[in-house]
Every structure is written in C-alpha cells, then in structure tokens.
Amino acid sequence: MTHHPMGSAEPLLAVRDLRVTFQRHGEKAFRAVDGVSFDVRPGQTVGLVGESGCGKSVTSLAIMGLLPKRGNRVEGTAIFDGEDLLSLSPSAMRDRRGADIAMIFQDPLSSLNPVVTIGRQVTEVMERHQGLSRKDATPKAAELLERVGIPDPRARLINYPHQLSGGMRQRALIAMALACNPRLLIADEPTTALDVTIQAQILALLKELVVDTGTALVMITHDLGVVAGLCDEVNVLYGGKIVERGGRHGLFQRPRHPYTVGLLNSIPRLDAPRGEKLSPVPGSVADNLPWDSACAFAPRCPNVLDVCTQEQPGWDGDQVVGYRCFNPMGGPR
C-alpha cells in the first residue's frame, strides 16, 4: 500500500479534546469519551482500536452528530474542512452526512431497510444530496454496485436486503456510503458480522476504494489484524482516552503501553505450540479507575506502579507518536 507521509497535508478532520458525557436524570454522569484528539488527513486511514466500552463507537457517533438528542453532552471540537461539526445546526449536519462524511456500520443486515429494494436505498442518497431524479440515479446506482464488486448489479437493484448474502449486503452498504463521493468514511467494525473470508474481501475492497478515490478512512475496530492490514496511523483507546498512538509499523514492532501489548498478546498465533492457552488482558473494563486521579488501566496492568493509582498519567509524545503511561514497556524513552 502507498505510504502516506504523516503530517504533510492539512488535516481533513481534526478532533480536539472530544468529551462525551452521558447523564441520566438522577444518576451519576458517565464520561464515555474523555478528551480524545486525533487528525485524519486526506487519503489517510486512521484506526481507533480498543475493546468493547472503550468509547470508540461513541467517538464516531459524536463526530457524525448521531448521538441521541437527550441524555448526553458533547464537548470539544471536530474541525472538518474548516467547520466545527459539533457546533453545526442539525440540518446543516444532515447536509454534510452522506455527502461529505459517510459511515458504515457493523451489522449489514440490520443496517439496511428490509422493505426497500437495494436500488432504492442507493438512489435515495443521490436524490437527497445531488438532486438527481430517481431515473437519472438508477444507472449510477448500478455502476456503484458494480464498483463495490456486486455481480449482476442491474438485477440486484430490485432485490431486497434479505435476498443478498452477508458480504453482498456489506458491499451494498459501502455503495450507499460512497454514493456521493464523501471525503471521509467512518467504518464502525465493518467486518465484525462477517465470516473470515468475506472479511478479507471487504477489507481489500475498502483499501482499494480509499486508494482509488483518496477518501480518508477512520477504521473503528477491536481487531488488530484489521488495523495491521489497513491503517496508516493507529490510536489505541482505553476508558475513553487515547493511551497510545503510532504508525502501524512502529506500534506493532515496539508497543509501549501495557494495554497495547496485552491486546497484541491476546491474538491467537498460528505458530504457537498446540494447547498453549490464549493470554487475555486480565480483568474487565468494570475494574477501571477514574482517570482524574489515576490511570484507568492500573487495576489490570502488569506493570503497575504506586504512582499509577495516585496520579493521572500525561501524554508522553507528540501528535504522531506517543503513549500515556508511567511505566511503559521497554522503559521510558
């Protein structure tokens, strides 16, 4: 894959100090995303990695303005092309969604409207944003379906989602997301609901589309395999904060944060001796400490020091590479 030099172009999306707090009436507020900052440059693929509950999906929904209206507070900025997405009016944000920024979701079957044909669902986006008539949009929809690798696209236009296989559905969703040539695509675990061979196909397709069109891609996943194959930059999230960032080569060769190391070690290996147990990261997110006065990961950390439960670790590094740890693997730099 072509290597995009980091820091060269102006960022397309600059997220700064994003905080999302869920507050239900009479209950303690819960901060799902706690000061996340990252940049996405045109044509770049940025990964957000972490286990369930680390805030990666909430981050993407907050950027897209898709969080429920009530019960949450979003702070910080997400500058896209000079405009702060988080302070846009709902209707201005609607005009952006689908046209400039699109999103692909995890479960392709439930993400498609079951009573509307694939063709209608693809043309709907183009009618909405490009002002095309349905008649003019239909041949374009067929082209799109062909571009995402759906065989016999004309016949598929009149199919309903349940008549397509899982891989085809995800391709159709990608076609819908790409219908108006968005400059940024957010993929929220796009391969989780698919079997392994289809996963590889969909990832290859995404990679190809990103390279061809220069679309920037934010890849949200818990699967480090996906990250290794696709992302230029990787952000590891834990408890709503980015705990480590790096280029994919650097991160995989020399992970610094004990959580990143834990994630890498928990991947099953083909070359490991038979019968060897998998090594999960011990404990669960429920053990987290509040970031304000400690490192949230401390209770699960093999490298834990006294200071980890007394002070919040700061960011050690810069915009491109760095980690948030008192006692990183391989010692302090």
The contact set with other proteins (CB under 8 A) reads 64, 66, 94-99, 102-103, 105-107, 110-117, 124-125, 128-129, 155, 158-160, 162-163, 173, 176-177, 179
- Closest CA relative to residue 2, chosen from 246, 236, 230: 230
Which residue, 26 or 114, has its beta carbon nearer to other proteins? 114
Q: Which residue, 177 or 243, has its beta carbon nearer to other proteins?
A: 177
Beta carbon of residue 128, minimum distance to other proteins (angstroms, whole number): 6
Nearer to other proteins, 150 or 281 (CB): 150
Supply the minimum distance, in Å, between the C-beta of residue 155 and other proteins: 6
The candidate with the shortest Cα–Cα distance to 172, out of 197, 146, 195, is 146
- Which helix (H) or strand (E) is 142 found in, with range? helix 134-147
User: Considering the complex, what minimum distance in angstroms separates the CB of residue 218 from other proteins?
Assistant: 13
Considering the complex, state which of residue 176 and residue 230 has its C-beta at the smaller distance from other proteins.
176
The answer to whether 76 and 18 are in contact (CB under 8 A) is yes
Q: Report helix angle 166-178 to 196-213, nearest 10.
A: 20
Q: What Rg, from alpha-carbon coordinates, does the chain have?
A: 21
Least distance (Å) from other proteins to the CB of residue 274?
39
In the block, tokens 């709902």 appear at 90
Please give the structure tokens belonging to residue 294.
Answer: 């400690």
Kindly tell me which of 47 and 98 has the beta carbon lying closer to other proteins.
98
CA-to-CA dists, residue 92 to 49, 80, 125, 179, angstroms: 30, 13, 16, 19
Phi/psi for 68 (5° steps) reads -55, 150
Q: CB 36 → other proteins: shortest distance, Å?
A: 20
* Residue 166, both tokens: 């899982």
Q: How many residues does this entry show for the chain? A: 333
CB closer to other proteins, 121 vs 288: 121
Task: Please name the residue that has the structure tokens 């894959």.
Answer: 1
Shortest Cβ 175–other proteins spacing (Å): 11
CB of 321 to other proteins, least distance (A): 31
Q: From the CB of 91, what's the least distance to other proteins, in Å?
A: 9
Question: Based on CB atoms, which residue is closest to other proteins, 102 or 205?
Answer: 102
Strand partners, 102: 185
Whole-angstrom CA distances from 116 to 27, 65, 212, 280, 285 are: 40, 25, 30, 43, 39
- Nearer of residues 158 and 278 to other proteins, judged by Cβ: 158
Give the shortest CB-228-to-other proteins separation in angstroms: 27
Q: For other proteins, give the closer residue by CB, 172 or 263.
A: 172
Tell me how far CA of residue 46 lies from CA of 87, 187, 246, 304, in angstroms: 23, 10, 10, 29
Per DSSP, the three-state class of 27 is coil
Cα dihedral 193, 197, 202, 206, rounded to 10, equals: 130
